[in-house]
Structure 1
Amino acid sequence: MSVFKTLKNDLPASIVVFFVALPLCLGIALASGAPLFSGLIAGIVGGIVVGILSGSQIGVSGPAAGLAAIVLSAIGALGGFENFLVAVVLGGAIQIAFGLLKAGIIGYYFPSSVIKGMLTGIGIIIILKQIPYFFGLDKNPEGNFAFLQLDGENTLTELLKTINAVISGNVSVGATVIALIALGILILWNKVLSKKGKIFQLIQGPLVAVVVGILFYVFTKDGALNITKDHLVAVPIPDGIDSFLGQFSFPNFAVITNTDIWITAFTIALVASLETLLCVEATDKLDPEKRVTPTNRELLAQGAGNMISGFIGGLPITQVIVRSSANIQSGGRSKMSAIIHGFFLLISVILIPTLLTKIPLSVLAAILFIVGYKLAKPALFKTMYNLGWKQFIPFVVTVLGIVFIDLLWGIGLGLMVGIVVILIKSYQNSHFLHMEDVSNGKHRVNMTLAEEVTFFNKGAILKELDRLPEETYLTLDVRKTRYLDNDIIEILEDFSEKAKNRRIDIKLISERGEIENPDSYIQFFKLRPRTA
């Protein structure tokens, strides 16, 4: 399909995506504790560079809310934004390596409960982090959201400080009022107006909230509801080309040997790749034409985008579900929509930087409240609970780990719990044991082994064999078993000796027939193919 044939669809869609992306680029940079201009750079690179290189026709890339927690902690831990940019460049290189190694299926190896827990935990952190900005507080009483703070406080006590500041009135009244108005606009737009007509889908709620915020600042700057410059977006206003180029930051490669830089780089690469691959899966399902995105090519595109973004002072990039879904819902048909939206962002940075500096930070906080809420909807907790403990426990552990420790710990703990759940179910499902009535003075027991039986199942099988009473007639059915671990064969071999002493007779049933009290299980399974 020629991209120019779909331009009549892609151009209007790109305008909608631009309206969604502009406040989100600024808001995510704010949530990340990074220069706000870095969010715009990431949006531009994600739109133009990744848009050109990607094989996705309707996906849109840019700075991701899912990486905000990593960026926030890494900038401080690595000693500054320029040092952090080194990790972004290296993270992009690692993503390219993932693509070359055909690691596009990596997302399938993480349990969905852990992925949902990751996104939920990130959503909660985004909401908590924006509370001071929402109320126009001059300080950051919420700390860095590690549970144990350097000042002896913890996450919960830091939040109590925020609540006390609000109750005592130590907030910016103007910032709080416009934040509440912006939040009301976003909720009204999302719940009511977006369903009333195409005009409300073309003009997105976040853009309206930003425009109202600018007007509020302009008309109240000399009154009691004045918002000080400390609570406004700070984007450098260039006087010319040289001044414009001076806004870009560049990585400090002198720290490239620092181990923490490489750990952060790998974290960025892994989380950005996971978030991208999950978004790709979601957008492909939403695509009306049901096109399939080549995942390995997507990793290559994202890696190249992150390297370029890091080189010129931008945040890490992923494919983003909010922008991608807005693109699909607005009729986007090809990658031209994403590319054009990137050029719109570039033009806005060059032509209207003065207007951007009139946006209240509390309005961006309100927008991020909605973003965080969509990631961490309370209904999701109920849904996960209804799916059973095997889904709910890894989900909750991941959320708690991310909120009270950090992102890597949360994912790691959730993954460990998920593995334990698998081991427990593997232990339980290794065999089927059926006790029959006593006949001819002996208990009759049928044991059917599962399709695959590994060393994980040793404990369960050994336990059941040891529990068999004396004078039992055991039927061991392996007709459905396609793989039998050598550890299990050795258990059966050892049990055959015990069976003689306990007067237990064994009948082995396989696809080759039936054998009474086989002399050697090892020899039998050595002759029998153990894999399908």
Structure 2
Amino acid sequence: MFKYLKNDLPASIVVFFVALPLCLGIALASGAPLFSGLIAGIVGGIVVGALSGSQIGVSGPAAGLAAIVLTAIGALGGYQNFLLAVVLGGIIQLVFGLLKAGIIGYYFPSSVIKGMLTGIGIIIILKQIPHFFGYDPDPEGDFAFFQVDGKNTFSEIFETLNNISPGATIVAILGLGILLLWDKVLSKKGKIFQLVQGPLVAVAVGIIFFVLTKDDPALAISGNHLVSVPIPEDASSFLAQFSFPNFGAITDPQIWITAFTIALVASLETLLCVEATDKLDPHKNVTPTNRELLAQGTGNIVSGMIGGLPVTQVIVRSSANIQSGGRTKMSAIIHGFFLLISVILIPKLLNMIPLSVLAAILFIVGFKLAKPSLFRSMYKMGWKQFIPFVVTVLGIVFTDLLIGIGLGLAVGIIVILIKSYQNSHFLHIEDISNGVHKIKMTLAEEVTFFNKGAILKELDSLPEDSYLELDVRKTRYLDNDIIEILEDFSSKAKSKNINIKLISERGIVENPDSYIEFFKLIPKSA
């Protein structure tokens, strides 16, 4: 775990600066105490990071759960009741892990996973544009297109044009310039520039800029455009920020419904993130998904027990970790300790960091996820890959993460059905002589009820007085629905004077009286 500390330590600093405002923003968007987001970030880093089998995944509070949390806190009658649902949700995730449910993530098409990454990259950029220019009307971490104030992603961007803050914009441009210079030039010049990462320098410049210009009315950065960490006055006020679940409400069925919802959505988001981060990982580590569910379940139990939001593995932090050179789980664990130490020792310093600098960091993260070259490569792979990819991207940008993934998956299934319909059989005319049409139909290896329409259409189109050779030697699975179609066709064939020759591995039958009886003779696999 310490072998790649020279890679993991700089990456953990970047992840820390990305995670800090996201933890606070997601808590704000969830209608929960701000400190609950930090608790979830700390637990996601230290607890989940230590137990997870993922080398580069980073866990914490997720924007995808914000709407569920916001609704649940009100519906369950208070935050302590909600914390009980988080704990129970973690227990349910442990059950998912023990039942080997982690395999679910592997059933999502690659085009949908790539679309998810690209869509998230675009959303990161779009959502950071207002922060980049010093306009912060909505909480960070709100990844949905439609917002609670009636506005949406694009209306907020247009609103930004009338509310540009000069100081925030200048420091954001400086930060972006530093990041690009570090990434493209300085990181290749010497080890010092690899050890001291560009994001750390950008944040330091942002703090210095804030301090030097705070008395300048033209360039001063307002307090609502700075990181906002709760500042406890003493140890007792710090401990007072922790909350504990109300176990007296465990018999409330609504608690259990919310717990199952949290477990299901958090598990799905985690598994999708695992699939995505494994694809991004340049070292091609493979995350054990069932172990990941066990780690996430444990993390949610711990987070709920001390007042934190539910946690999942999160693609924004994970991709920032990968792009910053993180190699092992130490990066995630160290970032968790950074969160813990910072909220205890230096909350006042953290509250001097301009959000516009963090927006510049996330711009780079978003662009690397949504490179234009990816659209070109997906287009070249053909419509079967490109359409689910684009639908997923658009769905995420214009709705939210889970709806976008659901739309992409639905389109992917439709594509499979279309191709299954087209590839269910091969039909060609072998010979036409003496007025008799000789036609050969070869069924594919697997023929299911999805193929009923295609096969039925071809059979009905056969002319009278023709000769059909039906070859099922390659077929290893034949749905009973197809057998029934052939059974019904046998009577039609007699009335149209169509002769049928049925060929299988067991032999040849001319004009079978019963297809059902015939297919009983075929090996069980068919």
TM-score by length of 1: 0.86
Structure 1 residue 111 displacement after superposition: 1.5
Amino acid corresponding to residue 211 of structure 1 in structure 2: A
Q: Which residue of 2 aligns with 1:195?
A: 188
Matched, 1:346 2:343: no
Structure 1 position 257 matched with structure 2 position 250: no
Compute the displacement of 1:79 (Å).
4.9
What amino acid is the match of 2:103? Answer: I
In structure 2, the residue matched to 1:442 is 436
Partner of 1:276: 274
Report the CA distance between 1:465 and its aligned residue: 0.7
**Which residue of the partner structure matches residue 319 of structure 2?**
322
CA contact (8 A) 1:476 1:506 kept: yes
Aligned equivalent of 1:230: 224
SS in 1 for 2:39: helix
C-alpha distance in 2 between matches for 1:112 and 1:479: 32
Q: CA 1:21 to 1:314, structure 2 compared with 1: closer, same or farther past 3 Å?
A: farther
Q: Which residue of structure 1 aligns with residue 20 of structure 2?
A: 26
Equivalent residue for 1:458?
Answer: 452
- CA distance, structure 2, for counterparts of residue 91 and residue 126 of structure 1: 28
Distance 2:58 2:156 in 1: 34
* SS in structure 1 of the partner of residue 520 of structure 2: helix
Counterpart selection for 2:303 from 289, 306, 309: 309
- 2:134 corresponds, among 110, 116, 136, to 136
Change (3 A) 1:475 1:195: farther
CA distance in 1, matches of 2:57, 2:154: 36
Secondary structure of 2:102's counterpart equals: coil
SS at match of 2:254: coil
Q: CA deviation at 1:109?
A: 0.8
Whether contact under 8 Å (2:16, 2:336) holds in the other structure is: no
| Aligned CA distance change for structure 1 residues 424 and 62 (closer, same or farther; 3 Å) | same
- Give the 5 Å matches for 1:34-433: 34=28, 37-56=35-54, 58-63=55-60, 67-68=62-63, 70-79=64-73, 82=79, 88-137=86-135, 139-140=137-138, 155-163=153-161, 165=162, 170-223=163-216, 224-250=218-244, 257=254, 262-280=260-278, 282-283=280-281, 286=283, 292-315=286-309, 316-318=311-313, 321-322=318-319, 324-325=321-322, 329=325, 332=327, 335-336=329-330, 338-433=332-427
Q: Is the 8 A contact 2:133 2:160 kept in 1?
A: no
Q: Specify the SS of the correspondent of 1:233.
A: coil
Paired AA for residue 202 in structure 2: A
Q: Which amino acid aligns with 1:55?
A: G
Q: Report SS of the residue matched to 1:63.
A: strand
SS at match of 1:488: helix
> 1:484 corresponds to which letter in structure 2?
L
Q: Aligned partners of 2:343 and 2:195: how far apart in 1?
A: 22
252-261 vs 239-248, which moves further: 252-261
| Post-superposition offset of 1:53 | 1.8
Superposed CA offset, 1:95-150 (max 9, x none)? 32221110121111111222222233333333232232222225349996765666
Residues 150 and 230 from structure 1, CA distance in 2 versus in 1: closer, same or farther, beyond 3 angstroms?
Answer: closer
Please say which of residues 489-498 and 301-310 is displaced more in the overlay: 301-310
Q: Identify if the C-alpha distance between structure 1 residues 296 and 387 changes in structure 2 by more than 3 Å, giving closer, same or farther.
A: same
Check conservation: 2:26, 2:141, Cα contact below 8 A. Answer: no
State the shift of 1:344 in Å: 4.1
Percent identity for Structure 1 against Structure 2 = 66
Does the CA-based 8 Å contact 2:44-2:58 persist in structure 1?
yes
Any idea what the Cα deviations from partners look like across 1:404-443, whole Å, max 9, x if unmatched?
Answer: 2333322222222111111111111100111123123311
Change (3 A) 1:134 1:293: closer
Task: Give the whole-Å Cα distance in 2 for the aligned partners of 1:148 and 1:337.
Answer: 34
Matched AA of 1:209: A
CA distance in 2 between counterparts of 1:307 and 1:495 reads 60
Contact 2:320-2:365 within 8 A present in 1 as well: no
**Shift of the alpha carbon at 1:457?**
0.6
Q: Secondary structure at the match of 1:104?
A: helix
Change (3 A) 1:155 1:355: closer
Pairwise CA RMSD: 3.1
CA gap 1:204/1:38 in 2 versus in 1, 3 angstroms: farther
Letter in 2 for 1:466: D
What is the count of residue pairs matched by the alignment? 510
Residue 366 of structure 1 deviates from its aligned partner by 1.8
TM-score, with length taken from structure 2: 0.87
2:112 maps to amino acid: V
**TM-aligned CA deviation for residue 245 of structure 1:** 2.1
Which letter does structure 1 place at the counterpart of 2:16?
L
> Measured at CA, do residues 148 and 362 of structure 1 come closer, stay the same or move farther in structure 2, by a change above 3 Å?
closer
Structure 1 residues 391 and 36 mapped into 2: Cα distance closer, same or farther (>3 Å)? farther
For structure 2, the 5+ residue unaligned runs are none
Q: CA deviation at 1:242?
A: 1.9
Aligned pair in 2 of structure 1 residues 132, 90: CA closer, same or farther (>3 Å)? farther
Question: Given residue 350 of structure 1, which amino acid in structure 2 is its aligned partner?
Answer: I
